[in-house]
């Protein structure tokens, strides 16, 4: 019997999940409140509705055999009721409850002795103001942050006005040497598979992932530490799923967990072409209760996000697309979004090569050539 | 402006085309007379209709900016009218007119001095009977053959009753050393790109492609000859498109063209994972008037077709799927067909490896393990 699988959210992650789904016998459902979202036309059954709404999620969940998410910001209460009624949900709703609230997430790491930056929980801006001596720090809102929103850098006392007047985490600034992400796959039976860690560079203004190299350059000792920590983070959730664990290597060489996404994630896009089992393929294997795939790299890779150009809002045109399409070892993914906005994720490009210099050169060229403009 | 692209036919080729389409800004349309066909749910607009029907094809063509096919057996008259009215069709209708009729196709090769087996055109079985001295030969029906149907091996006089009582080609049997296929891409501006030739093995009963190795093992001299012949075949059609040219290397080492598919083709499925630009990606580049992609292999590969098991008809179950999913360097594609039938193409598996023995071993294992049964 062909399984029915639902995805909450219809953005680019859903889109790429559905591209991978077409390799398997599965009937796909998507819930999203935009009939023109990137994933809408690639599923068997598209349902218009708000993933944050209890009834919409509950009704949707009743139609499928297995359910996943492409964003944490969904109605967890409905998922808990569905799970209690026997629906398989990947990841389990308890994971989402922990992760979607930055305070609970930070407490989870603490509870499991997972290394991370020291932090203080602040309930409002007044409380925040009492911790000026804790700066420089990062203020992260408890609920509702996503894609760089809900995060504020507070360097000095004068920045406190930029902090959140709501429950939040004030996290000591880490003296970052490297930023990496490690994806862990966990099957229903508890089998695990680790992708090679990737090394990330962020756009300092938008806090969006800019480009990332795979594998990350790490000493064997650090690699083992990173893998052990990522496994500890993922396993203690006691849930099947994919877990992208973002970590810092600080200037002392210590590993500190930043945050975790319990789903397919921007840091795994390169796996589509560069690895035997992509993160999207892997999530289907987990959902359909198939054996886990191989996380081995076919070749080293780099991934560049294609982000809406500053000062351009409206129907998108891709400046430089022809030139980038001529690059022989580049794989282009445009997400089919009709409108561009500054900072909006419009696509990504993955480059494969055994030569690190070639990867860096081409990714930098692509970043400055392929520009979504209005 | 986002281009509207139509595909005539909604089988597995359409399905894989649509998986690749999701990397580009394109609005997709499919025409097929089965609402549950493999491609139906992966396009923006699915239209129920018969691709052999003039009105259905004409009306469909009026909705799009560019049109392609996944099978030759379409209404060419409607395409000719659409082309006369300015629609871009890839390949051009004149190509389909030549190729879908095996007699015209054979005459095309003759006209362009392309080497092939000697042949006689027979109008009916009575005429065929006059050429018993030409046997052993292959009898190919002029119109309507597909996937092994419309082809008969006539070894001796007694077989003549199996020949077609309709216009057909009687082709001298080639003493085959090797069977290969060479895909040529031609852009609108006339740029060409050649994939490495693949080496094919057929199931002798069903005449379905069984498995295929890339690259084919050929001497440099034969490779150059193969490439030159394939280019001659493709270029003389005077049309952009993808052309899979099937050839025999006979026991004397001579190259002889068997037939050509002017579209994405079973012999190019391995390019999805094994090459920088897959045949599906390449056809979108041609349709959207982008630069051609790189035909280079990332790794050598082998492809196995997953074919409905003899004696099994009905709702499909995949015996051995778990075992094949555990093979680390195998990529599984199941086409989402609900019913299996003996000989029906249900999926394919591609294996990547630098070791030819590993490719042969795994493909053989997969062929005997992954069995679509009812």
Quick one: what percent of chain B has pLDDT higher than 70? 97
CA atoms within 13 A on the CB side of B303: 25
B2 vs A contacts (CB less than 8 Å): 338
Report CB contact under 8 Å: A2, B290: no
Which stretch of B82-96, B146-160, B301-315 has the lowest confidence by average pLDDT? B146-160
| pLDDT score recorded for residue B254 | 95
Instruction: Indicate whether A43 and A136 sit together in one domain.
Output: no
Instruction: Indicate whether B64 and B124 sit together in one domain.
Output: no
Instruction: Indicate whether A243 and A154 sit together in one domain.
Output: no
Radius of gyration for chain A, computed over Cα atoms and rounded to the nearest angstrom: 20
Q: Which of B74, B90, B106 is the last residue in one of the domains? A: B90
Residue B201 has pLDDT above 90, yes or no: no
Q: Distance from A11 to chain B by nearest Cα, in Å?
A: 12
A328 vs B contacts (CB less than 8 Å): 276, 293-294, 296
Of B2, B293, B329, the CB nearest to A276: B329
> Between the CA atoms of A336, A338, A341 and A347, what dihedral angle is there, to the nearest 10 degrees?
10
Q: Domains in chain A: how many in total?
A: 3
**Best mutation site among B23, B44, B296 for testing chain A: the one with the most A CBs within 10 Å?**
B23
Of A42, A285, A296, the CB nearest to B22: A42
Q: Is B189 in CB contact (< 8 Å) with chain A?
A: no
A274 vs B contacts (CB less than 8 Å): none
Tell me the pLDDT tens digit for each residue of A46-63: 999 999 999 999 999 999
Asked if residue B113 is part of any domain, the answer here is: no
Radius of gyration for chain B, computed over Cα atoms and rounded to the nearest angstrom: 20
Which stretch of A150-154, B35-39, B188-192 has the lowest confidence by average pLDDT? A150-154
Q: Smallest Cα–Cα separation from B60: which of B88, B31, B39?
A: B31
Of A43, A276, A331, the CB nearest to B328: A276
| pLDDT score recorded for residue B200 | 87
The predicted complex's ipTM stands at: 0.92
Element at B368 (helix H, strand E): helix B356-369
Asked if residue A43 is part of any domain, the answer here is: yes
Instruction: Indicate whether A215 and A265 sit together in one domain.
Output: yes
Tell me the pLDDT tens digit for each residue of A332-366: 999 999 999 999 999 999 999 999 989 988 998 99
| pLDDT score recorded for residue B211 | 85
B window 15-44, beta carbon within 8 A of A: 15-16, 18-19, 22-25, 28, 41-44
Evaluate whether B192 touches B249 at the Cβ level (below 8 Å): no
Q: Is A331 in CB contact (< 8 Å) with chain B?
A: yes
Instruction: Indicate whether A66 and A137 sit together in one domain.
Output: no
Residue B120: both structure tokens together: 């006689």
- What's the mean per-residue pLDDT of chain A? 95
Instruction: Indicate whether A180 and A300 sit together in one domain.
Output: yes
Angstrom distance (rounded) from CA B333 to CA B344: 14
Instruction: Indicate whether B163 and B254 sit together in one domain.
Output: no
| pLDDT score recorded for residue B48 | 98
Within 8 A by CB and 6+ apart from B318, the residues are: A25, B334, B346, B370, B371, B372, B373
> Between the CA atoms of A8, A12, A17 and A23, what dihedral angle is there, to the nearest 10 degrees?
140
Angstrom distance (rounded) from CA B337 to CA B374: 12
Q: Judge residue B153's burial from the number of C-beta atoms within 10 Å of its C-beta, 0-12 exposed, 13-18 middle, 19 or more buried.
A: middle
* Entry pTM: 0.94
Residue B283 has pLDDT above 70, yes or no: yes
Residue B146 belongs to domain with CATH number: 3.30.1490.20
Instruction: Indicate whether A208 and A353 sit together in one domain.
Output: yes
Asked if residue A106 is part of any domain, the answer here is: no
Report CB contact under 8 Å: A23, B325: no
Q: Is B110 in CB contact (< 8 Å) with chain A?
A: no
Report CB contact under 8 Å: B316, A22: no
Tell me the pLDDT tens digit for each residue of B10-39: 999 999 999 999 999 999 999 999 999 999
Q: Smallest Cα–Cα separation from B151: which of B102, B117, B211?
A: B102
Instruction: Indicate whether B192 and B297 sit together in one domain.
Output: yes
Write down the H helix ranges in B73-182: 76-84, 93-100, 102-111, 125-129
Of B318, B333, B352, the CB nearest to A23: B333
Evaluate whether A143 touches A99 at the Cβ level (below 8 Å): no
Residue A372 has pLDDT above 60, yes or no: yes
CA atoms within 13 A on the CB side of A148: 12
Asked if residue B157 is part of any domain, the answer here is: yes
| pLDDT score recorded for residue A199 | 95
Instruction: Indicate whether B164 and B184 sit together in one domain.
Output: no
Residue A187 belongs to domain with CATH number: 3.30.470.20
Residue B225: both structure tokens together: 């000859």
Q: Is B285 in CB contact (< 8 Å) with chain A?
A: yes
Q: Is B373 in CB contact (< 8 Å) with chain A?
A: no
Of B22, B325, B331, the CB nearest to A336: B22
Mean local confidence (pLDDT), A216-224: 96
- What's the mean per-residue pLDDT of chain B? 95
Asked if residue A101 is part of any domain, the answer here is: no
Nearest-Cα residue of chain B relative to residue A330: B276
Asked if residue A197 is part of any domain, the answer here is: yes
Report CB contact under 8 Å: B23, A329: no
- Taking CB atoms and an 8 Å cut-off, how many pairs form between chains A and B? 84
Asked if residue A110 is part of any domain, the answer here is: no
Report CB contact under 8 Å: B328, A23: no
| pLDDT score recorded for residue A208 | 55
Angstrom distance (rounded) from CA A168 to CA A173: 15
Q: Is B334 in CB contact (< 8 Å) with chain A?
A: yes
Tell me the pLDDT tens digit for each residue of A59-91: 999 999 999 999 999 999 999 999 999 999 999
Q: Which of A156, A172, A188 is the last residue in one of the domains? A: A172
Residue A242 has pLDDT above 60, yes or no: yes
**Best mutation site among B10, B18, B325 for testing chain A: the one with the most A CBs within 10 Å?**
B325
Residue B57 belongs to domain with CATH number: 3.40.50.20
Instruction: Indicate whether B151 and B180 sit together in one domain.
Output: no
| pLDDT score recorded for residue B209 | 57
Instruction: Indicate whether A313 and A228 sit together in one domain.
Output: yes
A28 vs B contacts (CB less than 8 Å): 41
**Best mutation site among A42, A269, A274, A369 for testing chain B: the one with the most B CBs within 10 Å?**
A42
A333 vs B contacts (CB less than 8 Å): 23
Tell me the pLDDT tens digit for each residue of A199-211: 987 656 555 557 8
Helix A279-287 vs helix A12-21: crossing angle, to nearest 10: 70
Report CB contact under 8 Å: A299, B294: no
Q: Distance from A232 to chain B by nearest Cα, in Å?
A: 25
Tell me the pLDDT tens digit for each residue of B121-172: 999 999 999 999 999 999 999 987 766 678 999 999 999 999 999 999 999 9
Of B25, B290, B325, the CB nearest to A336: B25
Print the domain residue range for B66. Answer: 3-90
| pLDDT score recorded for residue A201 | 74
Q: Would you place residue B225 in the very low, low, confident or very high pLDDT band (cuts 50, 70, 90)?
A: very high
Report CB contact under 8 Å: A22, B318: no
Residue B332 has pLDDT above 90, yes or no: yes
Q: Is A153 in CB contact (< 8 Å) with chain B?
A: no
Nearest-Cα residue of chain A relative to residue B46: A41
Report CB contact under 8 Å: B338, A2: yes
Q: Would you place residue B72 in the very low, low, confident or very high pLDDT band (cuts 50, 70, 90)?
A: very high
Asked if residue A56 is part of any domain, the answer here is: yes
Tell me the pLDDT tens digit for each residue of B245-282: 999 999 999 999 999 999 999 999 999 999 999 999 99
């Amino acid at each position: 019997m062909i399984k029915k699988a639902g995805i909450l959210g219809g953005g680019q992650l859903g889109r790429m999940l559905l591209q991978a789904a077409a390799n398997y016998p599965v009937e796909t459902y998507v819930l999203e409140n935009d009939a023109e979202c990137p994933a809408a036309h690639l599923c068997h059954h598209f349902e218009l509705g708000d993933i944050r709404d209890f009834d919409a999620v509950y009704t949707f969940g009743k139609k499928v055999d297995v359910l996943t998410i492409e964003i944490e910001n969904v109605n967890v209460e409905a998922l808990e009721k569905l799970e209690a009624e026997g629906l398989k949900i990947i990841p389990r709703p308890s994971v989402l409850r922990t992760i979607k609230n930055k305070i609970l997430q930070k407490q989870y790491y603490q509870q499991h002795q997972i290394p991370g930056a020291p932090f203080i929980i602040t309930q409002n801006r007044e409380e925040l103001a009492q911790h000026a001596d804790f700066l420089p720090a990062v203020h992260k809102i408890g609920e509702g942050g996503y894609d760089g929103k809900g995060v504020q850098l507070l360097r000095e006392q004068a920045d406190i006005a930029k902090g959140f007047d709501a429950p939040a985490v004030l996290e000591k600034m880490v003296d970052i040497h490297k930023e990496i992400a490690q994806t862990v796959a966990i099957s229903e039976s508890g089998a695990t598979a680790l992708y090679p860690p990737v090394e990330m560079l962020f756009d300092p203004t938008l806090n969006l992932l800019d480009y990332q190299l795979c594998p990350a350059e790490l000493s064997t000792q650090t690699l083992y530490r990173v893998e052990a920590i990522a496994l500890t983070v993922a396993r203690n959730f006691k849930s099947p799923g994919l877990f992208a664990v973002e970590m810092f290597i600080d200037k002392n060489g210590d590993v500190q967990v930043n945050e975790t996404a319990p789903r397919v994630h921007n840091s795994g896009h390169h796996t589509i072409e560069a690895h035997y089992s992509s993160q999207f393929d892997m999530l289907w294997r987990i959902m359909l209760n198939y054996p886990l795939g191989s996380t081995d790299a076919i070749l080293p890779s780099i991934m560049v996000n294609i982000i809406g150009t500053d000062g351009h809002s409206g129907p998108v045109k891709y400046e430089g697309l022809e030139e980038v399409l001529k690059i022989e070892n580049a794989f282009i993914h445009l997400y089919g979004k009709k409108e561009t906005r500054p900072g909006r994720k419009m696509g990504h490009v993955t480059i494969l090569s055994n030569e690190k210099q070639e990867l860096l050169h081409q990714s930098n060229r692509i970043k400055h050539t392929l520009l979504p403009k209005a």
